């Protein structure tokens, strides 16, 4: 077990390092320098700015310096969008909103998807199953912004229960409903499908026959024996879904005008605000990698067969 944990942690760290390096080198591979889009300042000014941001030193040195700063929580400062404001503080301010919405979305999607998938598998080939399958297939075919806009058109606005935009000054539980609904819809449908397949697989296994021949009741067979085995492949998909929810948040934040990190990040890409881009990318990537690591460790809780390798039999 410790070997397994160590291996996963090592891979996680390596991934973050690779992403950081990729980000860094990409940012610095751009010709010209970041100051060019505005009125070209005088050369002396450019020099001073370069010195201030440490851009006049050789690349590897810059990389090391940047990584060092990163570990201390210093991601540099925004150049364009919020002049001179520390990227770290921007992240600290905007991330909680995105995180809250993301967490609620993933939570409700898992809580709803697993029972639905089980129901669908148990009532296979009945109208319940068919309806659920159709809904879930449609659900994974609709991009997040389509779902979000449909929700807005039908449930938000005058005389309707939910607000059309995120009002920073008046945040109630209602503000969360539509964004979380929109964001969690795709993962819910996807996970429900996976749960159904996994449950059908599990129910067809030999050990279910054994359980039946022991005289166990149907309920116990499904919820004790089949479900736990079915969760194993479903957990595999949980990691990518978390990453998806994070990125899906970009769209939802745009549609609902939520001042979260995702929207800021997308804006920074268009504004070419490099410190923000770099800092946010590395932060988000690290977050995703950490989440994946937690999910990987969850495996061990569910499946005692895991030693060094991931996966089943």
Partner 1 sequence: MADKKMKKAPLGSLQPDPDIFDWNDLPADDVFEKASGQEKESFIQDRKSVSYWADAWRRLRHNVVAMVAAVVLILIMLFAFVGPMLVPYGYAQTIRGAENLHPWHTSLQDQLRVEEEIQRRKDVLQAAEEEALTAAALPSWEEFKDQYVAEQLAAEAAKQGGKLTRQRENILKAQMANEAGKAYAALKEQAAADKDAVTISTDEETVKKELGIGNRPFGYSRAELERKAAGEKVFPHVFGTDYLGRDRMVRVMIGARVSLIVGVCSALLVLIIGAVYGAISGYAGGVVDTVMQRIVELIYSIPEVLVILLISATLKPFLDDYQNAGKLFSGLVTMLGPNLISMFIAFALLYWVTMSRIVRGQILQLKNQEYVTAARALGAGGGRVIKRHLLPNCIGQIVTTTFLQIPSAIFLESFLSFLGVGVSAPLTSLGSMCSEALAGMYTYPYRLLFPAVILSVMILSLNLFGDGLRDALDPRLKK
Partner 2 sequence: MAENQNMEAQSEKLLEVKDLHVSFFTPAGEVKAVGGISYELNYGEVMGIVGESGSGKSQEAYAIMGLLQSPGKVIGGSITFEGEDVLAKSREEMTEFRGTRAAMIFQNPMTSLNPVYTVGNQLIEALRTHDKKITKKEAAKRAMEMLELVGINNVDKRMKQYPHEFSGGMRQRVMIAMGLICHPKLLIADEPTTALDVTIQAQILELMKDLQKKTQMGIIFITHNLGVVAEICDKVSVMYAGKIVEQGAVNDIFYHPSHPYTLGLLRSMPRVDADEHERLIPIEGTPVDMLNPPDGCPFAPRCEHCMKICLQKMPPHVEIGEGHKSACWLRVLEKKKDESVGAEGGAEVRESKQKED
Give CA separation, 12 vs 8, 9, 64, 88, in Å.
Answer: 6, 5, 19, 22
Question: What are the DSSP calls for 13-65, one per residue?
Answer: HHHHHHHHHHHHHHHHHSSS-TTTTSSPPPHHHHHHHHHHTTTTS-HHHHHHH
Gap between the Cα atoms of 48 and 46, Å rounded: 5
Asked if residue 256 binds partner 1 (CB under 8 A), the reply is: no
Q: Which is nearer to partner 1, 106 or 285 (CB)?
A: 285
Asked if residue 135 binds partner 1 (CB under 8 A), the reply is: no
Q: What is the residue whose two structure tokens read 């399958």?
A: 133
Asked if residue 44 binds partner 2 (CB under 8 A), the reply is: no
Q: What is the residue whose two structure tokens read 């929580």?
A: 73
Asked if residue 22 binds partner 1 (CB under 8 A), the reply is: yes
Return the SS3 of 221. helix
**Looking only at residues 208 through 247 of this chain, which bind partner 2 when binding is defined by CB under 8 A?**
209-217, 220, 224-225, 228-229, 232
DSSP 8-state secondary structure symbol assigned to residue 185:
H
Q: How many CB atoms lie within 10 A of CB 141?
A: 10
Least distance CB 9 / partner 1 (angstroms): 12
Gap between the Cα atoms of 175 and 75, Å rounded: 31
Q: Which is nearer to partner 1, 26 or 48 (CB)?
A: 26
- Binding segment (CB under 8 A) for partner 2, from list 168-176, 178-186, 247-255, 296-304: 296-304
Return the SS3 of 299. helix
* Closest by Cα among 89, 63, 94 to 75: 89
Asked if residue 55 binds partner 1 (CB under 8 A), the reply is: no
Structural element, H or E, at residue 280: helix 274-302
Asked if residue 140 binds partner 1 (CB under 8 A), the reply is: yes
Asked if residue 191 binds partner 1 (CB under 8 A), the reply is: no
222 makes contact, choosing from partner 1, partner 2, none, with CB < 5 to 8 Å by partner type, with none
Gap between the Cα atoms of 136 and 192, Å rounded: 7
In the shown chain, the binding pattern of residues 247 to 286 toward partner 2, with x for contact by CB under 8 A and - for none, equals: ----------------------------------------
Asked if residue 305 binds partner 2 (CB under 8 A), the reply is: yes
CA dihedral sign, ordered 61, 66, 67, 68: positive
**Which residues have a Cβ under 8 Å from the Cβ of 138 and sit 6 or more positions away?**
189
Asked if residue 123 binds partner 2 (CB under 8 A), the reply is: no
Q: Is 84 left (phi over 0), alpha (psi -120 to 50) or beta?
A: left
Least distance CB 207 / partner 2 (angstroms): 4
Least distance CB 171 / partner 1 (angstroms): 22
Asked if residue 128 binds partner 1 (CB under 8 A), the reply is: no
39 makes contact, choosing from partner 1, partner 2, none, with CB < 5 to 8 Å by partner type, with none
Among 159, 173, 304, 308, binds partner 2 (CB under 8 A): 304
221 makes contact, choosing from partner 2, partner 1, none, with CB < 5 to 8 Å by partner type, with none
197 makes contact, choosing from partner 2, partner 1, none, with CB < 5 to 8 Å by partner type, with partner 1
Asked if residue 290 binds partner 1 (CB under 8 A), the reply is: no
> Which residues bind to partner 1, rule: CB under 8 A?
11-12, 14-15, 18-19, 22-23, 26-27, 29-32, 137-138, 140-146, 149-150, 152-153, 157, 164, 197, 200, 243, 246-248, 250-251, 254-255, 265-266, 269-270, 272, 277, 281, 284-285, 288-289, 292
């Amino acid at each position: 077990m410790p070997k397994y944990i160590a291996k996963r942690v090592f891979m996680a760290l390596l991934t973050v390092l690779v992403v950081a390096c990729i980000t860094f080198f990409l940012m610095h591979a751009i010709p010209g320098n970041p100051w060019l889009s505005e009125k070209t300042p005088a050369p002396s000014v450019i020099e001073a700015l370069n010195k201030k941001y440490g851009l006049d030193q050789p690349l590897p040195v810059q990389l090391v310096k940047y990584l060092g700063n990163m570990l201390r929580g210093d991601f540099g400062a925004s150049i364009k969008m919020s002049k001179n404001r520390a990227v770290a503080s921007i992240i600290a301010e905007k991330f909680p909103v995105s995180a809250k919405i993301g967490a609620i979305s993933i939570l409700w999607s898992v809580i709803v998807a697993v029972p639905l998938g089980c129901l669908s598998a148990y009532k296979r080939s009945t109208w319940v199953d068919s309806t659920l399958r159709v809904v879930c297939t449609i659900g994974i075919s609709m991009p997040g912004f389509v779902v979000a806009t449909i929700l807005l058109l039908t449930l938000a606005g005058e005389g309707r229960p939910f607000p059309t935009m995120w009002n920073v000054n008046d945040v109630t539980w209602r503000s969360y409903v539509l964004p979380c609904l929109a964001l969690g819809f795709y993962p819910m449908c996807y996970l429900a499908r996976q749960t159904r397949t996994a449950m059908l697989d599990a129910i067809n296994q030999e050990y279910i026959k054994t359980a039946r021949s022991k005289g166990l009741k149907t309920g116990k067979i499904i919820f004790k024996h089949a479900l736990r085995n079915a969760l194993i492949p479903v957990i595999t998909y949980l990691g990518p879904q978390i990453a998806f929810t994070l990125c899906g948040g970009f769209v939802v934040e745009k549609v609902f005008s939520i001042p979260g990190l995702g929207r800021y990040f997308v804006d920074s890409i268009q504004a070419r605000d490099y410190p923000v881009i770099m800092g946010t990318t590395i932060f988000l990537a690290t977050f995703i990698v950490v989440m994946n690591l937690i999910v990987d460790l969850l495996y061990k809780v569910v499946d005692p067969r895991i030693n060094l390798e991931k996966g089943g039999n």
